């Protein structure tokens, strides 16, 4: 995902997830590396999640295990990590 506005609902949702992760992490005074290590993911992966991407140009789509681990590390419930807006992804597409 390059700089600029997200092109679709999923990109926007992934970017909003990254913003939420960043805010929660900084509110706890934790580094990206510390959160990543505690969640048992690489620092690279965590940095990408905060950017809202998994690979350049590809919106983040973290595994459930990753979301649960991050919620535990950040001391929140999984729904608190997720943006309130819906991404507009229909089943079967």
Average pLDDT over residues 48-69: 93
Q: In this predicted model, what pLDDT tens digit does every residue of 18-49 receive, in sequence order?
A: 999 999 999 999 999 999 999 999 999 999 99
Q: Is residue 45 part of a domain?
A: yes
Cross-strand bridge partners of residue 55: 58
Q: Specify the pTM.
A: 0.84
Instruction: Give counts: helices (H), strands (E), the chain.
Output: 5, 2
Predicted confidence band of residue 57 (pLDDT cuts 50, 70, 90) = confident
Q: Is residue 86 part of a domain?
A: no
pLDDT score recorded for residue 86: 76
| Overall domain count for the chain | 1
pLDDT score recorded for residue 41: 97
Range of the domain at 58: 9-76
CATH number reported for the structural domain that contains residue 38 in this entry: 1.10.260.40
Tokens (6 digits) for 75: 């001391």
Q: Is residue 29 part of a domain?
A: yes
């Amino acid at each position: 995902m390059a700089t600029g506005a997200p092109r679709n609902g999923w990109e926007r949702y992934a970017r909003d997830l990254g913003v939420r992760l960043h805010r929660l992490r900084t509110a706890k005074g934790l580094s990206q590396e510390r959160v990543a290590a505690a969640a048992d993911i690489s620092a690279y992966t965590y940095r990408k999640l905060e950017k809202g991407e998994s690979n350049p140009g590809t919106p983040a789509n973290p595994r459930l295990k990753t979301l649960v681990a991050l919620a535990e590390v950040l001391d929140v419930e999984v729904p608190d990590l997720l943006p309130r807006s819906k991404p507009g992804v229909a089943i079967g597409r």
